Amino acid sequence: MASFCERHDIDAPDMTAIYMNGTRMSCQQRNFISIGHYYHVDIFNAVIDFQLMEIDSRFSDQAMELLILSSALDPTDAFQSFNIDHICTLVAERFYPQDYT
């Protein structure tokens, strides 16, 4: 990242510097974390939480279960994730019980 920023004359923050929150006075800082920690942990986790909430609101529980169970049909690595119990649950027990005895 540093070489890219230098090449394009972009000011990059020192990721090891202390992250200053609020009025930026050191006496008001509750925890002393680096700027790198702030972006890698605090911001990253907030974005992941937001994305998970968005996914949860767009898909019903049944659709999510169908997606999870259908992952048993993934042909990657010679069907390494193949699980007969998931297939039975998917087909016979959960979604098409009237078709199978």
Cα–Cα distance measured from residue 73 to residue 81, given in angstroms and rounded to the nearest whole number:
7
Say if residue 14 is in the same domain as residue 36: yes
Whether the pLDDT of residue 58 is over 70: the answer is yes
Give me the count of residues in the chain. Answer: 101
Whether residue 63 sits in one domain with residue 100: yes
Containing 48, the helix (H) or strand (E) segment is helix 44-58
Let me know whether 46 and 80 are in one domain.
no
pTM (global) more than 0.85: no
- Asked if 65 and 90 count as a contact pair (C-beta separation under 8 A), the reply is no
Confidence of residue 47 (pLDDT cuts 50, 70, 90): very high
Verify that 33 and 68 share a domain, yes or no. no
Domain hosting 100: range is 59-101
Q: Does residue 69 share a domain with residue 46?
A: no
- Per the structure, the count of domains in the chain is 2
Q: Is 25 left (phi over 0), alpha (psi -120 to 50) or beta?
A: beta
For residue 17, the Cα-to-chain-centroid distance in whole angstroms is: 27
DSSP-derived secondary structure letter, 18: B
pLDDT tens track for 63-96: 877 777 777 777 777 777 777 777 777 777 777 7
Compute the mean pLDDT over every residue in the chain, rounded to the nearest whole number.
77
pLDDT tens figures, 25-35: 555 555 677 88
